[in-house]
Structure 1
Amino acid sequence: MGITTAVHLNFRDQARAALEFYRCVFGGHLAAFTYAQANNVRHPADAERITWGEVRADNGFHVMAYDVREDQTLDPGERAFFVSVRGADAEEVTGYWKGLSEGATIVEDLAPAGWSPLYGMLTDRFGVTWVLDVAA
């Protein structure tokens, strides 16, 4: 028996846009449900926010996200986590880099590194920091 893991990202009013963006970059299927669809609205502002969402692709990519409720605080902090994407194919990883780079702040350019043929780090337009590399 095995397990799977996924990064779960927390937003306020940006979960749907972030999931749509990641689906465009990595492909796959997007599923998202609002608090209203789940019959779980406690505050009117929450109705159209995402209570559960994910992007899952055949290539193994899987990310989850939701919008924090109105009555809860959201302080994502700085560098609280990175999302790591490692692939065997430089062209594939470069394609993901190009997609994520739209509106991003580049922390480390995608380039050869001592431990990897290609390595790079960026913070995307949603404030999520991604580390992409090619397995040595």
Structure 2
Amino acid sequence: MRVMVIVKASTSSEAGELPSAELLEAMGKYNKELVKAGVMKSGDGLKPSSQGLRVRFRGSERIVTNGPFAETSELIAGYWLWDVASMEEAVDWVKRCPNPMKEESDIEIRPFFEMADFAESDPDGKVAAHEDELRAEVAMSESTLVPYLFFSGRCAEAIAFYEKTLGATIAMLMRFSESPDGVPEGMLQKGFEDKVMHATVHIGKLTLMCSDGCDDKSAFDGFRLALSLPSEGDCSRVFDSLAQGGTIDMPLTPTFWSPLYGMVTDQFGVGWMVMVPGEQS
């Protein structure tokens, strides 16, 4: 079951007093235990109500009131979203929490409504289906899509090339020989034992994942990476760098959508579209 665990505000939290270093450390350890147990899904502290607003609904009116708000006992200073088996489990976890305030304080546990609670009002399941669609839409809006390239044994060479030509930085790199689980027998082509099993590389705002793969049979086909640069000088410099040892598929030229645009396949077989963004209409 999902519950919201609410840290009620206190005189010190409403005064904007920040927690001590000791409390921050204790809370950090507690949150780590929650995450490790699979209980905590999210959580944050809130600034005092003096920095907040309220909107009152009165018929068609919407009346906005600036904080602070007087009834401290009704305000909240922070929250967690937990996934627990029962309210009893939630209580057990709350009892282990460090006191979040300098003075006496309260933490409130409130279960979320689930669609099953509304079955009587939704006999045909239309509302439940709509909620499922919305949850899926939210999940996709928060998802990330990252290109994953297989370099057929030339991954380390390619990364070094992109470091030099594009200013790439390596966030992580692991070779097959470094795998904590080992590699199944017969999976790798002979000589691939020290090849790159997985790497994460940043090029500007792009995150790129890459590997050597298990053999030298991979080939790039049917896609290109689009790289936008702020000026024509930068565009020409990067285009020329990528073309070293590669093939120019379309020379840099002005187009109706870009002041300068070209296509090049680098020496590793990766296709690029290099451009200066056009003006937004």
Structure 1 residues 24 and 6 mapped into 2: Cα distance closer, same or farther (>3 Å)?
Answer: farther
Partner of 2:175: 34
Q: How many angstroms does 1:121 deviate by? A: 0.3
Percent of paired sites with the same residue: 24
Provide the TM-score with structure 1 as the length reference: 0.83
Aligned length: 132
Matched, 1:118 2:260: yes
Equivalence for 1:61: 206
Deviation digits for residues 39-69 of structure 1 (CA, Å, limit 9, x no counterpart): 4333453311111113214x31332210111
TM-score of the aligned structures, taking structure 2 as reference length: 0.43
Say whether 1:74 aligns with 2:214. no
Q: Which fold has the larger relative contact order, with Cα–Cα distance below 8 Å and residues 6 or more apart in sequence?
A: 1
Cα deviation for residue 4 of structure 1 reads: 3.9
Gaps of 5+ in 1: none
Q: 1:21 to 1:112 in 2, by over 3 A?
A: same
Q: Which has the higher helix share?
A: 2
How far apart are the structure 2 equivalents of 1:29 and 1:122?
22
Q: CA deviation at 1:127?
A: 0.8
Shift in Å, 1:88: 3.0
Flag structure 2 segments of 5+ consecutive residues without an equivalent: 1-140
User: Do the aligned residues in 2 keep the contact of 1:23 with 1:55 (CA within 8 Å)?
Assistant: no
CA RMSD of aligned residues (A): 2.1
Larger Rg: 2
- Inter-partner Cα distance in structure 2 for 1:60 and 1:92: 16
The one-letter amino acid of 2:159's match is L
- Cα deviation digits, residues 13-39 of structure 1 (max 9, x gap): 111111111111111322321011114
> Could you tell me how far 1:93 is from its partner in structure 2?
2.1
